[in-house]
Amino acid sequence: MSTLQRTCYLLFLIVFTINSFHLISLVICKQSQHDHLLSNEEHFSDANQHNPAYDHEAFLGSEESKAFDNLSPEESKERLGEIVDKIDINGDGKVSLDELKNWIKKSQAKYVTDDVERQWKTHRISKKNLLSWEDYKKATYGFMDDLDNGVSEEDTRVYNDMMRRDERRWKTADENGDGSLTKEEFTHFLHPEEAEHMKNIVIDETLEDVDKDADGKISLDEYIQDMYSGHDGGDSEVPDWVIREKEQFQSVRDKNSDGFLDRKEVENWIIPEDSDLSSVEAKHLISESDEDKDGYLTKDEILANYDLFVGSQATDFGEALMKHDEL
């Protein structure tokens, strides 16, 4: 999975941080891949290894709830049918590529809007409709002041690193340098992949997460270890997708074939140019479900492949159904 898009939540002693998830004393941040915008790196481990959770999130705009886990196949198909009716804008009984692409694009845009609105409301906003770094830091990290001296040196180091990264991202999002963020700047802070001027922060954070020896580049072992924790450098007793991902690194990612991903190659990996992910995903869903190969999806074709569209822990099906009434 890509290290690019991650989100955390601030819940009592659960730290809300932006780019990574850490477990420290009484502090838990859990990764919710793509609670975030979807990265093409999350769709396939390579051309043959498909990640179905990507499709579920792209199609439904997944967030926190796991309500769909409790639905039977019959219930899921019934609710999916209601969503298909919403996607079919012209009511001709067929879902076109454009209709599906627009639905996915709106789903992801709505996630960003809802995420920013929810988190904006949890902070102390000034009369000028600004959020200061000091107020954000106090709300997010102030709990550490209340913990006793039993916090380990390692936990303290992790906490300080999280705050350092947040402050660096904050300063980059703060385009006028006044120390506070407007809601638009806060959006760039939470979702840096959405803004051109935040690109270097996304690359920096990816390198920091994956480049364990801090030499400024990502080796093959570091690349694989970020995806597969059981990797020991060899190919014995590892999933086939890991072996294929090594080949992907060597044949596609490492463009100059020096055995490493430099900064530009990391950028090409996590922020590919001219990549319309909503279009790519819509084409994928149609190719997988279009049984008569006419270029359209009927409701029957979608329902016959309902597990491609919904059904993972990542899918907030009930919330998607309600919220998409507003799209």
Residue 29 clears pLDDT 60, i.e. is over it: no
Query: What is the end-to-end Cα distance of the chain in Å, rounded?
Result: 29
Return the higher-pLDDT residue of 127 and 21.
Answer: 127
Joined tokens for residue 74? 């019959």
pLDDT band at 22 (very low <50, low <70, confident <90, very high): very low
CB 266 within 8 A of CB 254: no
Per-residue pLDDT averaged across 70-98, rounded? 87
Residue-level pLDDT at 70: 64
Joined tokens for residue 323? 């919220």
pLDDT (tens digit per residue) in 1-10: 333 333 333 3
Residue-level pLDDT at 9: 30
Count of CB atoms situated within 10 Å of the CB of 226: 18
pLDDT band at 230 (very low <50, low <70, confident <90, very high): low
Joined tokens for residue 277? 């992910």
Residue-level pLDDT at 300: 95
pLDDT (tens digit per residue) in 152-163: 778 778 888 999
Per-residue pLDDT averaged across 257-279, rounded? 86
* pTM (global) more than 0.75: no
Residue-level pLDDT at 145: 73
Distance CA 18, CA 168 (A): 11
Count of CB atoms situated within 10 Å of the CB of 7: 24
Decide: helix, strand or coil at residue 33: coil
Please give the single-letter amino acid code of residue 44: F
Residue-level pLDDT at 210: 94
Residue-level pLDDT at 261: 97
pLDDT band at 151 (very low <50, low <70, confident <90, very high): low
pLDDT (tens digit per residue) in 170-218: 999 999 999 999 999 999 999 998 799 999 999 999 999 999 999 999 9
